[in-house]
Every structure is written in C-alpha cells, then in structure tokens.
Structure 1
Amino acid sequence: MYPNGSDLSLVLTLHSLELPEMSIYPAFIVGLVAYLIILLCNVTVIFTICMNRNLHKPMYILLLNMLINDTTGATTFFPQLLYRIWSQDRSISYPACFLQGLFVHLYGGASHVILTAMAYDRYIAICSPLRYGAIMTTNKLVRIITGMWIVNFIIIFVLFCLLMPYKICQTYMAELICYNPSLMKLMCEDTRVNNSYGLFILVLYHCISLFVVAFTYIRILITCVTNKQSDAKIKAVQTCGTHLVVFLFLEFNTFFPLIAHRSENVPAHLRRVFSVSILVFPPIVNPLIYGFKTKDIRQKILTCFKRKIGNF
C-alpha cells in the first residue's frame, strides 16, 4: 500500500505498446504525421471561422467549439504517445496521469454536449427556418455555449475529486491512456460511490444526447418528407447524415470502453483500442466533414490560400 502523502511522487507504469524494435521509428513518424494533420486541419478551420465575420453564425460557432475541443483531446494524447514510442518509457507520474484522465473525460463529455447542441441548432434551422434568427439569437447562443462548458466541467471535476481521498495499492495500469475506470482499479478501498457516480454520468450524457438527437432527427425527417422542395430535402439528408455518423461513432466509442471495464468477458486489447480511437479519429474526421466539406468554409479557405499564393 502506498501512503496518501506520497501520491504526488508516485510513478505509474502503463501497458506496453508492444512495438517490435524495427517498427519504433515508423510508428513514431506515423503518429507525428497524424498529430500534425490534426493540428493543421483543425487550426485551419478554427482560424477561418474566427477571421471571417460572415461565418460568425450559430452553426459555425458551435463547430468552432467542437474543433477546439478536438484539438485539446488530441493534444492530451499524442505528445505523451510520441514520447513513449521514442523513448520506450512506459512510466508516468500519478499527477500527470490524473490530469490526463481529467482532460480525456472533459473532452468526451464536451463532445457529447456540443453534438447535442448542434443537433438542436440544425433542428431549428430546418424545421423553423423563418424563426431561426429569432430563436438562435446571440444571447441565447452565448448561454448555450457557456452553460454546456460549465456544466460539463463541474460534472467531470466532481468525478475526479471523488478519486482524491483514496490510497493507491498498485502502480501498473493495464491501459494505454489514463482515465477514470483505469485509475479506480489502482485504489485500495471500496470505490462503490465512484462507480455509482460514474454510471450516473454515463447514463446522463448518453440518454440526454440520444433523446435530443433522436427527437430532432425524427422532426427533421418529418419536415423533409412533408416539404416538397427537393433542395430542402437534400440539405436535410446531408446535415443528418454527417452528424449522425459522427454522433453514433462517439456514442459507441465512449460507451464501450467504460462498460468494458465493468465486464471480465471483454478482451483487454479491444477495450484499449476503443479507448484510444476516440482521441484519434474524431479530431481527424470532424474538420474534414464539418469544415472542409461545408461550402462557405471551403470557399473562405480557398480564397485565403489563393491570396497567399498570389502574394508570392
């Protein structure tokens, strides 16, 4: 047993990446390129939205929040991964592990609330287009964004505060990253309170987001079927299709690893793959399907790029 006072100096050991010696440098290059692509794509769209006033609309402001969140999530994971690949060092201090877990959960929770807010925004835009400006005012948008960040932070902060009083019994963590269920397995004492609160959060995020998205999609589809304008139907289908793919991927990838920790029948390597994929694929895919695929943003990026080329 490790005394509570030594937690700050405690060093944990993460699960091995199991990379053959010949593949260390190729793996490092692949990881570095993936992280640079994430930064380039997300920062490009973020900069484009910030610098163009005609993109300061609710849909794009919510997208901006998503991309900032994705960049934060990827940065929580990739630098540590690249260091581990390069140095083959599996150790991480307990405070660093605790902080990584906090940011991983903040990222996951924020992804849910942002996608839920985006579903509501699209519902208003498609089902009540004439009232959209009156409903999604600047003040209401600010309240939505501020509220979702504050609520998400409080819920996740409480989750990790519940871990602080416990003593740590072991230093090996059978995961590639740190997050709440893996940290709880290091604790000596009964963590039923943490488990109960964790399940409450799991149900809260998933049930609310599923309900809102299901409700808005059903209403959008009804509007799409009853609306005889073909362009409105195409717009609705495109909006629903891209959002639904991203949302379902997030739902499964956040739900599966957390449930897998509570079952002995799920292979550990499968749990590790899904727990890491949520920090890799959305930050790569989201700026592509939400940013570069969106006509207004794509045109602004191309205009800026052509202007830069013309200056040389």
Structure 2
Amino acid sequence: MKMENQSLEFSYHLTLDPFVIPPGGKYPIFVFGIVIYLFGMFCNLTLLFLIILKKNLHKPMYFILFSLPFTDLIGITTTLPKILSDIVTETHNIYYPFCVLQAFLLHMYGGGILFILAAMSFDRYVAICMPLRYSSIMTPRLVVYIICLVWGLDFILIVTFFSLQTRVSRCRSVIMNVFCDNPSLLKLTCGDTTLNNIIGLFNTAVIQALSVSIQAYSYFRILIACVGKRKFNARAKAVNTCVAQLVILVIFEIVATFTVLSHRFKNVSADLQKIMGMLIFIVPPLLNPIVYGIYTSEIQKTFLNILKNRVCV
C-alpha cells in the first residue's frame, strides 16, 4: 500500500528547476514581473475590447486580428503567474497533468501566432491586390472558415505529438526549466523517444513552412502591386498596413531563434537559457498590441478618441 502511494505521488508530482536568485532579490523580481504581466494584460485586453465594442473595427481584418491578443493572453498567463508565485513562495512543485496542460497551451500559443499572422497576410493580400473584389472574397463565412482553420490546424498538430507522450514511461520527476514544455517532458522519459522527436520536428516544420510560405507569397504580391502604383500616397498606405504584421513576425522569429540557440551552446548558463525561454511568451504579448497601435491608424484613432472622450467627461 505504501509503495502504491509513493508510485502515485511520483506520477503526479514534479519539481521545477528554479532560478538562482541572490539574497533580497526575489521581491524586486516579483514586483517587476507583476508590472510586466499587468501591462501585457492591459494592452491585449484593450485591443480585444476595442475590436469587440467599436463598430468601425468590425471588419474581416480585425476579426482575424482578434485571435492575436487572445493568443498572447494565453502565452503570458499560462506561465508568468506560476513562475512569479514559485519565486516568492520558494516552492517549485507542479502536478504532472498541469505541467502537460501548461506545455500544451504554450505550444498552441507559438503555433497560433504563426498561423494567425499567415491569415492576416492573406487578408492584406486580397485587400491590396484585389481591392474591388475584397468584399466579395472576404465574406463573413470565409472569415469564420479561416479562423476555424487557424485554430483547428494548430490544435491537431499540437495534439498529435503530445498524444505520443502516453507511449513512453516516465522515470524522472525534475523538469529542467522554470516552466513545462514538450522537450522538458520528453527528458522525463526513459524509453525510446525517437518517434516523438521526429513527429515534433515534423510538426514544427509544417507550422513554420505553411506560415512563412503564405506570408512570403502574400507580401511578395503586395510588393509588386505597390511598385505598380503611381500614386505615392496609395503606395505608402498599402505598405503601412503590412508593416505591423511584418514587425510582429520578425520579433517572434528573432526571440524564438535566440531561445533555440541558447539551448544549443554548452557554455550558456542554465539561468540564461531559462530567461531566453521566457522571452518567447513575454516579449511578443508586450509588443504586439503596441505595434498594432502604432502602425494601424484605425486602431490608433479609435483608442485616442476614447481617451479624449474620457478626458472631456
């Protein structure tokens, strides 16, 4: 009976590998982290509410855009509160089911951003290259199909390699990170994980290839269309609508690349690797709504009008 209880405890209780924090540093780090989290929540919720409440934003572009701050909220909320709580309480335990859920949501977040940006680039391609047919092509039904395809394809790909976790047994209970992801979960196993690694790499390649190819094609056609425009104002306006999406893509890919590279060099400290891993779900949620607020005039004007009305009242 005692052995069964120990086995059950091992099955469900995992230990996260914490940061090495200097004495007196945990509370300043906690406060700084809370400020970052609240700022990210405020920016993304503001963007969500603007799209929901303001009729001038009830357009295909913004309905697709709605998924982006929603995805950012998943990324930053899934991990940062748990990490900050562990820092203050100095308890670094996590239940195995919650660890799997956290890893699943993080991978949904990563794939979701790339698919959403691909969908948004297609919308801009239709708007700029086929402006007279935009309304007939980007119908409400097609927009719903695109959104369902984005989330459905992301869900299927992520579920596929997470379902393979059940085929291998676990013999370790320490997650070598401050949060859970699929590579960390695989390191807990003692069986052959070759198939898991192959499927994981294949799914990652599919997500990247689909997203990048759709965006590359869309922006290439947009570039050709813009070069053909004789009016400078029309060309500048067309390009400006795509700048925000390109900036967000570049930010995400740079952060993701640095995260991957930090785990490939042996001379990189464990704490730096953890920090680099955290950047991928902190930096994009902080910058994405700001970038859209700066480069998308309609969102910027809507937000400023609300502020002016509040001040006047």
Taking structure 2 as the reference length, what is the TM-score of the superposition? 0.91
Q: Does 2:47 correspond to 1:45?
A: yes
- Residue 57 of structure 2 corresponds to which residue in structure 1? 55
In the TM superposition, what is the alpha-carbon distance from 1:310 to its structure 2 partner? 3.8
TM alignment of 1:136-175, pairs within 5 A? 136-175=138-177
In the TM superposition, what is the alpha-carbon distance from 1:5 to its structure 2 partner? 6.8
TM alignment of 1:263-274, pairs within 5 A? 263=264, 265=266, 267=268, 268-274=270-276
Runs of at least 5 residues in structure 1 that lack an aligned partner in the other structure: none
In the TM superposition, what is the alpha-carbon distance from 1:289 to its structure 2 partner? 1.0
In the TM superposition, what is the alpha-carbon distance from 1:21 to its structure 2 partner? 2.1
The amino acid across from 2:160 in the alignment is: V
- Residue 90 of structure 1 corresponds to which residue in structure 2? 92
Q: Does 2:147 correspond to 1:184?
A: no
State percent identity of aligned pairs.
38
The amino acid across from 1:191 in the alignment is: T
Deviations 1:160-208 (A, max 9, x none): 1111232211122221211101110111110111111101111101111
Native 8 Å contact 1:173 1:186 kept in 2: yes
Partners of 2:9 and 2:191 lie apart in 1 by 15
Partners of 1:7 and 1:76 lie apart in 2 by 24
Partners of 1:124 and 1:57 lie apart in 2 by 13
Runs of at least 5 residues in structure 2 that lack an aligned partner in the other structure: none
Partners of 1:289 and 1:212 lie apart in 2 by 21
Taking structure 1 as the reference length, what is the TM-score of the superposition? 0.91
Give the match's secondary structure for 1:13: strand
Q: Does 2:20 correspond to 1:13?
A: no
In the TM superposition, what is the alpha-carbon distance from 1:273 to its structure 2 partner? 3.1
Q: Does 2:48 correspond to 1:79?
A: no
In the TM superposition, what is the alpha-carbon distance from 1:295 to its structure 2 partner? 2.0
Q: Size of the alignment, in residue pairs?
A: 309
Partners of 2:210 and 2:6 lie apart in 1 by 37
Cα-Cα RMSD = 2.3
- Residue 235 of structure 2 corresponds to which residue in structure 1? 233
Q: Which has the higher contact order (CA 8 A, sep 6+)?
A: 1
Native 8 Å contact 2:240 2:295 kept in 1: no
- Residue 210 of structure 2 corresponds to which residue in structure 1? 208
Distance 1:291 1:266, change over 3 A: farther
Give the match's secondary structure for 1:16: coil
Deviations 1:208-245 (A, max 9, x none): 11111111121111111111111122123323333222
Deviations 1:64-110 (A, max 9, x none): 11011111111101110120121122221211111100100011111
Native 8 Å contact 2:106 2:181 kept in 1: yes
Distance 1:173 1:278, change over 3 A: same
Partners of 1:3 and 1:152 lie apart in 2 by 37
Partners of 1:120 and 1:293 lie apart in 2 by 18
Deviations 1:274-307 (A, max 9, x none): 3211100111111111135422222222322333
In the TM superposition, what is the alpha-carbon distance from 1:255 to its structure 2 partner? 5.3
Q: Which of 121, 124, 143 lines up with 1:122 in the alignment? A: 124
- Residue 242 of structure 1 corresponds to which residue in structure 2? 244
Partners of 1:173 and 1:38 lie apart in 2 by 27
